[in-house]
Structures are given as structure tokens and as C-alpha cells.
Amino acid sequence: MIPLVCPTPISTRDNILLGHGSGGKLSAELLRDIFLPAFANPVLAKLEDQASLDIGGTRLAFTTDSFVVKPLFFRGGDIGSLAVHGTVNDLAVGGAIPQYLSAAFILEEGFDITALRAIADSMAAAAAKAGVTIVTGDTKVVERGSGDGVYINTSGLGRLRDGVRLSASFAQPGDAVILSGSIGDHGIAILSEREGLELETDIASDSAALHTLVDAMFEASPMAAIRCMRDPTRGGVASTLNEIAEQSRVGIEIVERRLVIHSAVRGACELLGLDPLYVANEGKLVAVVAGESAEAIVAAMRRHPLGVDATVVGHITGEHTGMVTMRTVFGTSRIVDMLAGDQLPRIC
Amino acid sequence: MIPLVCPTPISTRDNILLGHGSGGKLSAELLRDIFLPAFANPVLAKLEDQASLDIGGTRLAFTTDSFVVKPLFFRGGDIGSLAVHGTVNDLAVGGAIPQYLSAAFILEEGFDITALRAIADSMAAAAAKAGVTIVTGDTKVVERGSGDGVYINTSGLGRLRDGVRLSASFAQPGDAVILSGSIGDHGIAILSEREGLELETDIASDSAALHTLVDAMFEASPMAAIRCMRDPTRGGVASTLNEIAEQSRVGIEIVERRLVIHSAVRGACELLGLDPLYVANEGKLVAVVAGESAEAIVAAMRRHPLGVDATVVGHITGEHTGMVTMRTVFGTSRIVDMLAGDQLPRIC
């Protein structure tokens, strides 16, 4: 089991905070102090976003995610499409071909059935577009005040590509860090909807299925050149990079001016005191790849509609192990720590 | 797609009722009117409690269930052990060897971390006992008042036995209906806990993993002799039998005096005006088997600790297609309809 970055154990007197769902330090504590010790096994201990399994000689990826996003409908998507994209992406960045999804609904008494129908239709459309089939499901209903409209869990299954081996522990000094596009769009879209912000430009969530972008990356490079991929959702790019630095026991250096940040996202972040590096994305991936393959992979990504802004944003070093640093636009260097609290609750 | 038993479509002006989560008629309506049309595909249309899939030549069962039981801890179990047993059982009654589970938690802000630890430990113990591994997970947190402590989703994966073919549409006239033991224990245990009932005898939930009982049944008979198995949870034995009668287009006749009902359950049901046939079970199975194999299968079940009260409770007929009838202790016959409303919300 790999120790995570936070040294302070949770006191048994403590209660759950919103930050425990943030994807940052508190989430990591909960995992390290409660779930990993209880469920101790080598697959879970790898701390990947999906489990790699062997059943009857077939290699599979298996993943699960619950979606509690608020509001349920937002610019660029809704809880239904998000629930499909999130799980498809966890399979895709694990090197699997997404194939089957489950869909489990926790409905609140009084929820509007027309809204439920719209969400189910949106899930179906997203699944059809992503080439996955929803094959099993469940519905529970809780009393008014014990839920919030609808929560959705999707679990996903896919066949792992032959010979693929990806892990957040495989990054090596000299590797390049690729980001597939702009950051912070999903989080800011949700937040502006929730807070009724009037932004100069409307920002839409980037929610999308990334599996064909991943296909393009594998076609452009020897399989072993791709060390790991992650979709930087809760906790944003900063948390994802910190997890990779920690698990691979390497340093990561990124360059601020290479980050693509839409001006409306930048403006909203300044207004709200948020750092876009910590804001959630739902249609982006971070990849660590062999330095010599980076150019070919980025070129292939840029030919894909979801990768037109793909860029090498940094590299892996053997220095400051377990840490992420950023060369700022002012030429200084700063540490990019893991998200400490809960920047934006219920973002996915 | 097989039409379910309820002819009235849901009006688009309607809202979700607690009964939509009951496992009875309203649940069937929601499935028929919203989810099946949206997600239309042949696997889902089979309406089994698990999907049978082929991935890379390996036959798998895949299932999902969310657990919202209230209270979280009850005599005979807790939401953690229930979440393991429920999903293990859905795999087992589908003819699969349960192997892997996911675990996704929706926590309410303020929830006691000591309770969460107890639930995680209980899940781990139940999983170890059932021989399954929890390989992937997720945690979300919602604000105070948007949840109720903790909701858990488990999805499960298992390899299907070679050559196994089970379906609620395979029951044939002349087949026997086997029930593995007493009915109503789980529902009454939850209800008595929730309502603070003082029963003559304390009733514990029957929550248990049934996969080794299923193993014993397959060992005792030719594979094709077992037509279908179901675990009669929400909606109870009555709803399960109605689903089988409907999907196989047969009649089912059961005999009241062959039902095993603990006296405390019977007493509580009389007190509360409940019919034990509709009360949830979490450690029982209903099997439809070839008439000539019934005796051998029941004998094998009775040698298993979870099947000591296994009995042939009825048979399949070619008459009154799609209906379940019961010969009462008074010698009369009555129709056992599907659960109409929501007898007991949040029972699992």
C-alpha cells in the first residue's frame, strides 16, 4: 500500500466534512485511514481510478463513480451525460475499451418525473455516442429531505487493450506531461450556474467521452511510451499531478504559460479567488509519456476534436520527489500542493 | 422487450413517490416507462437482476444496487454487510461465481466517522466471508440535509458457470417452486428497529451471502434442471413470483401452509397489517426447477446452513397465465398480486 501525502490521521471523534468529497487532501485521508485498511487488497492499493482484473483469462477494467452534481442541468450537460462520461473516461484513461455501464438511481420523493425522463434520455444519448451499453440498473427512493432530486451511480466495464500497462507509479525522469486542453471549464460552468454569476462569456462544461482521443494516442506511439493517464476531475489538474508525483516518487515541473485557460474561466477564478489548477474538468486528460514520444502523441491529439489544444505542459524530474512545482508567468517557481479543503462541493 | 404487469403509463406531470422504490408495481412502471425505453437494449430488456455479458470470450455477470436502508445498523447486520450480501446474491442467483465488488459511498456532511469505520469494517468482513474482493471505489459528500448519513452502491462482477442459462422466462408447467427458508425476517427486523416495536421475540435480519447454497444446488442437479433463481428482496416473495409468472407466461400456484414464517414475524405482520409475502428478505432465494429434480435439490439445500428450511412451496401451471395464486390454510384459493404501493420504504 502506498502512503498518501497527508501525515495526520483522522481523529475517531471527527465527522464528515464537505472537503472529504473534494478529491483533495481530506479525500485522501479518508481513503488512507478508513477504506484502504478495511478493504486491504493489492488491486485497491494501486490507487488507480479503475481496477485491472483478470477473469477467466480476459483482462478487464472495472470502475465506479457516484454523481451528486448540483444543479442537475447545466450549460454543456446534465447529471446524466456526466455520469456516462465520467465512468467512460475512467475506463479510457486506464487503457480499456469502454463497453458496459450500470446505472443506479437514488431518487428523492417528489422529484419531477419529466426531469428524470430528460436525464435518462441524456444518459442514453451519451452512452450511444460513447459506444457503451447500459446493461443493468437499480432504483431506490428516499423521503423528501433525505436526498436532492437524484443521485446516480454508474459502474463501468471494459476490455483492457492487449499488453497495456498504465500506472500513476510509472512516471520517470525525462518523461513529458501532456494536458489535452483548457482547464477549469466544468467547475466554473457549474459554479456560475449555481451562483447565478454573470460572466463576460458563458462557459460550458467540457463534459465529454475521451475514449477516441485515447485511441488516437495509442495509435501514435509504442504502447509502453504512455506511462499513465488520468482525467483531472475533482481536485483539478493540481491534485492529479500530485498523486502521480507521490505514487511515482518523482518531481513534476509544469510551466504556467503553457496552460490553456479560457479568459472567462480566468476571470471567474479571479473574481471568486479560485486557482484554475484546482478546478474540476470532465473532458480533459493528463498523460505522462516518454519524452521522445511526446511530439508524436501531441500531434495525434491535436488532430482529434477533443485534443486541439493538447500541449506538453511540463516534465518529470528526479528532484523534489513527491512534489509538483510550477514556473510562473513571472519567471518564479512555486509549489503546487494538493487541494487542502473543499474548493467546490458537488461539482460532479 | 417484455411488457410488465401494469397497464397505466405514468403521467408526465407526476412526481416520484416512495412507492417507486418499492420493488412493486410502481417500480415496474418506472422501469417500463422511463428506463427501458431510454436505454433500450436486449440485455436490459431481459429484466434479470444481473446482466450476462461476453467480454473477450469470457461470460460474466454484472449487477448494481444502491443501499439506503434506515436505520444503518440493525439486528443481524448493517448497511455495509447488506451492501455486500445484496450484490453477491444478485450474482449468485444469476448462476455466477461472485468475484469482485465496487463500493461507492454518498456521505452526508456531519456523518460520524466512527460509524463509517464500523460500516467499512463490516463490508470488509462480509466480503471476506463471501470470497469477494472490493477492488474499486468512490466517495462523494453532500451537504447536511441532502442525504441521510450514508448511502452505498455496490456493483458486482462474477464469472458465469460454464453452460449455465437461467432466466425468469424459463419456468414451465410441471416445474417446482422452491423457497430456501423463512420469509419476512429482514423487513420485520428493520421495521421493528425503526418503529421501536416490542416484539415477543427479537427478529434478526436474514442478511447473508447465498453463493455457497447456490453451489450446492448446482451440484445436486443437471444444470438445465434449474430454470431460474431470484432473491426476493424488496416486494418480497409475492413480487418475485409475479415477475416469473409474467415473464414466463405461466401460472404459479403456491400453498400457504408450506411457507415458513417465524411466529414473531407473523405476529408483527398481524399487528402492522402487513402480508409476509410482500416483506423483504435478504438471505433467501426462490428457485424454479424441473419437477423431477426438486427432491434432490431440496435435500441438498437442507444440508446447507442457509437452506435448512428449504421447501417446495408450489408449482408452475399452464393455467391463469401471468398470475400467482395461493391455496390458503382455509382451503380457499386467492390471487397473490404484485405489491401495489410501498409497504416498507428504505428496507434495503
Q: Do A137 and B64 touch (CB under 8 A)?
A: yes
B206/B2: higher pLDDT: B206
Q: Quote the minimal CA–CA distance from A141 to chain B in Å.
A: 5
Predicted pLDDT at B301: 98
CB of B333 within 8 Å of a chain A CB? The answer is no
Predicted pLDDT at A52: 93
Neighbours of B325 (CB within 10 A): 19
Residue linked to cell 492487449:
A162
Q: Which of A8, A12, A15 to mutate to test the interface with B (most CBs of B within 10 A)?
A: A15
Q: Is the pLDDT of residue A222 over 50?
A: yes
Are the C-beta atoms of residues A51 and A247 closer than 8 Å to each other?
no
Q: What are the DSSP E strand ranges found in chain B? A: 51-55, 58-67, 73-74, 77-78, 96-108, 133-142, 150-160, 176-179, 226-230, 251-255, 286-289, 311-317, 324-327, 333-335
Q: Do A43 and B136 touch (CB under 8 A)?
A: yes
The shortest CB-CB distance from B107 to any of A21, A50, A155 is to: A21
CB of A112 within 8 Å of a chain B CB? The answer is yes
The shortest CB-CB distance from B65 to any of A21, A63, A104 is to: A104
d(CA A315, CA A252): 6
pLDDT in tens, B101-114: 999 999 999 999 99
Mean pLDDT of A74-85: 97
The shortest CB-CB distance from B58 to any of A19, A55, A127 is to: A55
pLDDT in tens, B86-144: 999 999 999 999 999 999 999 999 999 999 999 999 999 999 999 999 999 999 999 99
d(CA A274, CA A235): 12
Are the C-beta atoms of residues A203 and A185 closer than 8 Å to each other?
yes
pLDDT in tens, A188-218: 999 988 877 776 678 999 999 999 999 999 9
Confidence of residue A4 (pLDDT cuts 50, 70, 90): very low
Predicted pLDDT at A215: 97
Least confident of A18-27, A130-139, A337-346, B242-251: A337-346
Which residues of chain A lie closer than 8 angstroms to B107, CB-CB? 16, 20-21
Q: Do B44 and A135 touch (CB under 8 A)?
A: yes
CB of B117 within 8 Å of a chain A CB? The answer is yes
C-alpha cell at A81: 451525460
pLDDT in tens, A267-293: 999 988 899 999 999 999 999 999 999
CB of B136 within 8 Å of a chain A CB? The answer is yes
pLDDT in tens, A149-167: 999 999 999 999 999 999 9
For residue B102, what is the nearest residue in chain A, using CA coordinates?
Answer: A64
Q: Which of residues 181-220 of B touch A (CB under 8 A)?
A: none
Q: Do A65 and B111 touch (CB under 8 A)?
A: no
B225 vs B221, B255, B287, B293, B322, CA distance in Å?
Answer: 6, 22, 10, 6, 22
Mean pLDDT of B151-180: 96
Which candidate, A201, A197, A230, A217, places its Cα nearest to that of A302?
A217
> Within 13 A of A172's CA, how many CA atoms are on the CB side?
11
Q: Do B155 and A151 touch (CB under 8 A)?
A: no
d(CA A242, CA A5): 9
Q: Do B139 and A107 touch (CB under 8 A)?
A: no
Q: Which stretch, A22-36, A92-106, B16-30, has highest mean pLDDT?
A: A92-106
What is the three-class DSSP state of B65? Answer: strand
CB of B118 within 8 Å of a chain A CB? The answer is no
Q: What are the DSSP E strand ranges found in chain A? A: 51-55, 58-67, 73-74, 77-78, 96-108, 133-142, 150-160, 176-179, 226-230, 251-255, 286-289, 311-317, 324-327, 333-335
What is the percent of chain A where pLDDT is above 90? 81
Confidence of residue B343 (pLDDT cuts 50, 70, 90): low
Q: Is the pLDDT of residue A13 over 70?
A: no
For residue B103, what is the nearest residue in chain A, using CA coordinates?
Answer: A64
Predicted pLDDT at B338: 86
Which residues of chain A lie closer than 8 angstroms to B35, CB-CB? 103, 120, 137, 139
Which candidate, B214, B85, B208, B209, places its Cα nearest to that of B161?
B214
Which candidate, B129, B136, B138, places its Cα nearest to that of B156?
B136
Predicted pLDDT at A200: 65
Which residues of chain A lie closer than 8 angstroms to B97, CB-CB? none
Please list, in sequence order, all residues whose beta carbon lies within 8 angstroms of the beta carbon of residue A282, skipping any fewer than 6 positions away.
A77, A82, A85, A86, A89, A186, A205, A206, A207, A208, A231, A233, A348
For B138, phi then psi, to 5°, come to -160, 150
Q: Is the pLDDT of residue B317 over 60?
A: yes
Confidence of residue A35 (pLDDT cuts 50, 70, 90): very high
DSSP letters spanning B143-193: -TTSS-SEEEEEEEEEEEPTT----TT---TT-EEEE-S--SHHHHHHHHH
Predicted pLDDT at A343: 61
Q: Which of A39, A49, A123 to mutate to test the interface with B (most CBs of B within 10 A)?
A: A39
Sign of CA dihedral B2, B5, B7, B12: negative
Predicted pLDDT at A25: 86
Q: Quote the minimal CA–CA distance from A154 to chain B in Å.
A: 9
Residue linked to cell 506511462:
A227
Predicted pLDDT at B28: 87
Predicted pLDDT at A1: 30
Q: Do A146 and B147 touch (CB under 8 A)?
A: yes
B85/A4: higher pLDDT: B85
Predicted pLDDT at B102: 97
Predicted pLDDT at A239: 94
Predicted pLDDT at B11: 52
Q: Do A21 and B140 touch (CB under 8 A)?
A: yes
pLDDT in tens, B243-292: 999 999 999 999 999 999 999 999 999 988 899 999 999 999 999 999 99
Q: Do A133 and B68 touch (CB under 8 A)?
A: no
Predicted pLDDT at B227: 98
Confidence of residue B295 (pLDDT cuts 50, 70, 90): very high
What is the three-class DSSP state of B337? Answer: coil
Confidence of residue B46 (pLDDT cuts 50, 70, 90): confident
Q: Do A153 and B104 touch (CB under 8 A)?
A: yes
Q: Do B35 and A120 touch (CB under 8 A)?
A: yes
Least confident of A75-79, A238-242, B43-47, B333-337: B43-47
CB of B39 within 8 Å of a chain A CB? The answer is yes
Least confident of A193-207, A217-231, A310-324, B236-250: A193-207
Q: Quote the minimal CA–CA distance from B303 to chain A in Å.
A: 30
Predicted pLDDT at A9: 52
Mean pLDDT of B51-56: 90
Predicted pLDDT at A320: 94
Least confident of A57-71, A134-148, B2-16: B2-16
Beta bridge partners of A139: A105
CB of B164 within 8 Å of a chain A CB? The answer is no
Amino acid at B17: L
